[in-house]
Amino acid sequence: MSTPRRRTRQIHVGSVAVGGTAPVSVQSMTVTKTADVEGTLAQVYALAGAGADIVRCTCNRQDAAEGLARIVPRSPVPIVADVHNDHRMALAALEAGVQCLRLNPGNIRNPVHVKAIASEARDRKVPIRIGVNAGSLDSKLYEKYGGTATPEALVESAKIELSYFAEVGFDDVKISVKASNVGLMIDSYRLLADTLERDAPDGVGHPLHLGVTEAGPPPAGLIKGTAGIATLLAEGIGDTIRYSLTADPVEEARAGRQLLEAMGLRERKGLDLIACPSCGRAEIDVIQVAKDAQAALEADQLPIQVAVMGCVVNGPGEAREADIGIAAGRKRGHLFVKGKVVRVVPEDEMVQALLEEARLLVDEGVESRLAAADGAAAAEAEKDRQALLVEQGSDANASEQRVDLIRKMTESGG
């Protein structure tokens, strides 16, 4: 992280802490009909397996509320009820035992209804997310801000909802101000974070739920979601996140988890595969080998960083921070652990060797695998490397000569 996370109040969505010093959590949403209890539970379990800490389900009808009453006790993660228009569905969801509500203030606008929900949530100690959405903003706010959704309009919508909650003594809240436009989303969250801190007596605002809404299908949807969410996280803004993709929601959960791991905000639990983009020096089809390696390693759910490199000239050095990796050269694969070659295998055995060594690494640890290295592997690898330096042309071969020349130039002072 380039900027420390902003201090926020901590709330609890069931067993998951959000805000304060709690890790940034991942959320997603089922796309099944909530009345389909078994189908919804299957999706909840799939989302939890992919990295979701919290799952949201629609509660738009009586049969959906009844479904929640059966789903919540069997769910592996806390359940949030998504309520858009009917305040009675929010009350029914609370009766069903959900661990959080999401209310859209642009749709439930009657203050009496909002305060009735907040009062019931207060008594049951269930938090509420104020889910402001640029696409469903209160018409009065549209008019006030020139007929368009602006950061000021989104933040004002959240503040109005907070004022209703305050009237009944409820402040167990997290807030989102989502938009499908990435720039608008970023500016809105920045303004919200500043406003909440300024308005709080102790300078500690409510926790924030980040997301770019209606981002669309991958890969464009992933790019938009990452652009908005990662920008804010890098600025220290955000306590829980959700990708909104037109895709299997498991992709949302997986993307959220991978983003947090990549940014160092969550401990790695899944595979992180890095690979060179390939070039004319590559000795193998890097793209295919990387795909084969990812498929084999993900099946084992190994929580390590793995590198697949196209040539041995620079591969092990460039990927020395990876837990394990393999580089191709002269029809052979150089298998390395933390940049040190431990085995040399035939090219057609590269993926299988990588999988075997990765399993051993997870079971035994780095030091054990380095100690078990083939004593001749490093010398064989260096022999291949030197031969390729000669074969692959002057750029790679002349690098050390250039380094020597630079040293002479700088040491002479001329």
Given a cut of 70, whether residue 351 has pLDDT beyond it is yes
| More confidently predicted of 286 and 92 | 92
pTM: 0.84
Q: Rounded mean pLDDT of 83-92?
A: 95
Residue 75 has pLDDT above 70, yes or no: yes
Q: In whole angstroms, what separates CA 372 from the centre of its chain? A: 35
Give yes or no for a contact between 338 and 374, defined as CB atoms under 8 angstroms apart: no
pLDDT, one tens digit per residue, over 217-254 is 999 999 999 999 999 999 999 999 999 999 999 999 99
Q: Residue 283 pLDDT > 70, yes or no? A: no
pLDDT value, residue 182: 98
Q: Which helix H or strand E contains 268, and what residues bound it? A: none
pLDDT at 33 > cutoff 90: yes
Residue 3 DSSP one-character state: S
Instruction: Please provide the average confidence, as pLDDT, over all residues in the chain.
Output: 91
Provide the total of helices (H) and of strands (E) in the chain, helices listed first: 16, 15
User: At the top level of CATH, which class does the domain 11-262 belong to?
Assistant: alpha beta
| Structure confidence by residue, pLDDT tens digits, 176-195 | 999 999 999 999 999 999 99
Distances in Å between the Cα of 354 and the Cα atoms of 54, 58, 377 are 34, 43, 15
CA 360, chain centre distance (Å): 28
Nearest to 340 by CA among 305, 377, 308: 377
Return the DSSP state at 182: H
Q: Are 193 and 208 in contact (CB under 8 A)?
A: yes
Check pLDDT > 60 for residue 382: yes
pLDDT tens for each residue of 8-25: 999 999 999 999 999 999
In the chain, the amino acid numbered 347 is E
Average pLDDT (295-320) is 82
In this predicted structure, the answer to whether residue 1 has a pLDDT above a threshold of 60 is no
Where do we find the tokens 């959320």?
27
pLDDT at 414: 52
Per-residue model confidence (pLDDT) at position 306: 92
| pLDDT at site 40 | 97
- Does position 396 have pLDDT exceeding 60, yes or no? no
Residue 80 in contact with residue 100, Cβ under 8 Å?
yes
Residue whose tokens read 């992280």: 1
Distance separating alpha carbons of residues 369 and 361, to the nearest angstrom: 6
Are 114 and 88 contacting, i.e. CB atoms less than 8 angstroms apart? no
Alpha carbons 412 and 401: distance in angstroms, whole number? 17
CATH code of the region 272-397: 3.30.413.10
Which residues, 6 or more positions from 270, have their beta carbon under 8 angstroms from its beta carbon? 51, 254, 257, 258, 261, 298, 301, 303
The domains of the chain are located at 11-262, 272-397
**Peptide bond before residue 219 is cis, with ω within 30 degrees of 0:** yes
Answer whether 11-262 and 272-397 agree in fold: no
Q: Residue 410 class from Cβ within 10 Å (0-12 exposed, 13-18 middle, 19+ buried)? A: exposed
